[in-house]
Amino acid sequence: MEFVLRRSYRGPLKAVIVDWAGTVIDYGSLGPVAAFMEVFSRKNVPITMDEAREPMGVHKKDHIRRITEMVSVRKRWVEVYRRYPSDEDIEQLYRDIVPVQVECLAQHSDLIPGALEAFRAFRARGLKIGSTTGYTHEMMEAATAKARERGFQPDTTISADQVPAGRPAPWMCFQVAMDLQTYPMEAIVKVGDTVPDIEEGLNAAMWTVGLVKTGNEMGLSQAEVEALPPDLREEKLRRGRERLRQAGAHCVIDGIGDLPPLLDEISSCLARGERP
């Protein structure tokens, strides 16, 4: 036999899974950076904003570990402690960051412009809304409460500490799908602003969309983005788009407000029998 038949889903989109910081709240994803810089400063090992941002999107303990593995950070650590960071150091940094991150989240919890309108458009399409995050469940309590006050409440939120492993593993997305009682995975769109977001969505076999302007790739507040010279702003956006495309994103848009029209294109792909 030279050919075999293959099942092809041609039904509608059923759900959207969103990230939080840089996607839904906290334009520029500034809260996590401030928290990481603060806890390392308390250890007399200051880190730069770029170092704090590099592992963005993964579980916060994994994020700390990856920072401590950077050559530049290890060098500074050795200058202070005469040894490399240990597992015990990582555990202590993680314990330290929890209250700091909760406080930072409370200060960086405004919805990104266009987010609320996008969610209303998702609801109008009959889509369910789930969310995943590199934050822990404890950290997310403040953020979800603030978002609820502002009119956004997803059907379910899964944090990195509620599954066997956070991004880039697909487990949070699978748990969201189970909570929403929604399948197949190609009927769901995942959207986020970091490379681990993209990897998470692809590993879960979903349509995966990257956000560049409002999130970690730009790493600037809305006012800072708007204040950039046009040529510099476009160059930074170009580099961010390329980075997320190289990670495998099916599409890259500026912000969550650009997602609703894109859903029509994804729906057309499904109708043709295409898969992510």
Distance CA 66, CA 87 (A): 12
Return the bridge partners of 78, or none. Answer: none
- Interacting residues of 158 by C-beta distance below 8 A, sequence separation 6+: 130, 131, 132, 133, 172, 175, 176, 179
**Sign of the CA dihedral with 85 first, then 86, 87, and 92 last:** negative
User: Which residue reads 């916060």 in tokens?
Assistant: 60
Q: Catalytic residue among 19, 62, 193, 197, which?
A: 19
- Please, are residues 122 and 131 in contact by the beta-carbon 8 Å criterion? no
Catalytic site residue 87? no
**Sign of the CA dihedral with 24 first, then 30, 31, and 33 last:** positive
Catalytic site residue 128? no
Distance CA 61, CA 165 (A): 11
Q: Catalytic residue among 14, 26, 60, 128, which?
A: 60
Active site members: 19, 60
